[in-house]
């Protein structure tokens, strides 16, 4: 697994052996960031259920000024720290080893906001999608004009809205899919509303 583009392009990221993690594929990560384009530069990025940290690290490589990683699995959180250290990333990154909701509550308490929030629970943990999205929608952690991106199994029927967060795009690739949400009436960081075939 490698960083795809930007400052850390082609640098190798470590993963855990076995089935402990299901990293976002390189191809899907490349598609995501190519679509987000220059909007990543100067942004703040939140990676929830961060796994290896590959998505948040890709954001930093492409110009995000800060990335926060929430990961409940202690060995995975340690792995993220190792991957950050191998790239000599320190002040621009923060790793929270906690359950997703506890991590989000801590972020809210610190009054931090993010331009992009990436949420990737284990595909089988279908209840996590709703509980995390509802919390994000009810909190103030998404910056004005921000986008929430949810990775899920292609066949998973994710809700069209969570509070003020409205579904604006579905992108399918292989067995995976990315659903994009933004706050109703938000016009910044807008993504196309057409579905990817």
Residue 2 lies in a domain: no
- Domain hosting 177: range is 27-183
What's the chain's Rg over C-alpha atoms? Answer: 15
pLDDT digits (tens, 9 = 90+) for 61-98: 999 999 999 999 999 999 999 999 999 998 999 999 99
Residue 52 lies in a domain: yes
Comparing CA positions, the residue from 39, 28, 85, 34 lying closest to residue 65 is 39
pLDDT one digit per residue (tens) for the chain, 197 residues: 899 999 999 999 988 876 555 678 889 999 999 999 999 999 999 999 999 999 999 999 999 999 999 999 999 999 999 999 999 998 999 999 999 999 999 999 999 999 999 999 999 899 999 999 999 999 999 999 999 999 999 999 999 999 999 999 999 999 999 999 999 865 555 554 444 43
Whether 120 is covered by a domain: the verdict is yes
Does 176 reside within a domain?
yes
Q: How many Å apart are CA 103 and CA 132, to the nearest integer?
A: 10
Answer yes or no: is 39 within a domain: yes
Give, as one character, the DSSP assignment of residue 193. -
Let me know: does 53 contact 65? Beta carbons within 8 Å.
Answer: no
Flag whether 71 is in a domain: yes
Any idea what the CATH number is for the domain that residue 169 is in? Answer: 3.40.50.150
Residue 19 lies in a domain: no
In a domain, 192, yes or no: no
Cα angle at 6 between 100 and 152, to 5 degrees?
A: 35
Number of folded domains in the chain?
A: 1
């Amino acid at each position: 697994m490698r960083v795809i583009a930007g400052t850390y392009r082609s640098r190798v990221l470590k993963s855990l052996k076995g089935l402990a993690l299901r990293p976002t594929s390189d191809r899907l990560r490349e598609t995501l960031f190519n679509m987000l384009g220059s909007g990543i530069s100067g942004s703040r990025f939140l990676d929830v259920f961060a796994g290896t940290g590959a998505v948040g690290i890709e954001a930093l490589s492409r110009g995000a000024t800060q990335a926060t990683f929430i990961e409940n699995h202690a060995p995975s959180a340690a792995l993220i720290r190792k991957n950050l250290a191998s790239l000599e990333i320190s002040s621009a990154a923060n790793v929270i080893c906690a359950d997703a909701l506890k991590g989000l509550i801590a972020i809210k308490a610190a009054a931090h906001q993010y331009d992009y929030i990436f949420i990737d629970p284990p595909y089988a943990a279908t209840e996590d999608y709703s509980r995390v999205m509802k919390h994000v929608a009810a909190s103030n952690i998404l910056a004005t004009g921000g986008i929430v991106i949810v990775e899920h199994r292609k066949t998973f029927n994710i809700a069209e809205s969570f509070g003020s967060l409205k579904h604006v795009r579905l992108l399918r690739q292989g067995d995976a899919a990315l659903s994009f949400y933004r706050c109703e009436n938000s016009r910044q960081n807008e993504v196309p509303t057409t579905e990817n075939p």
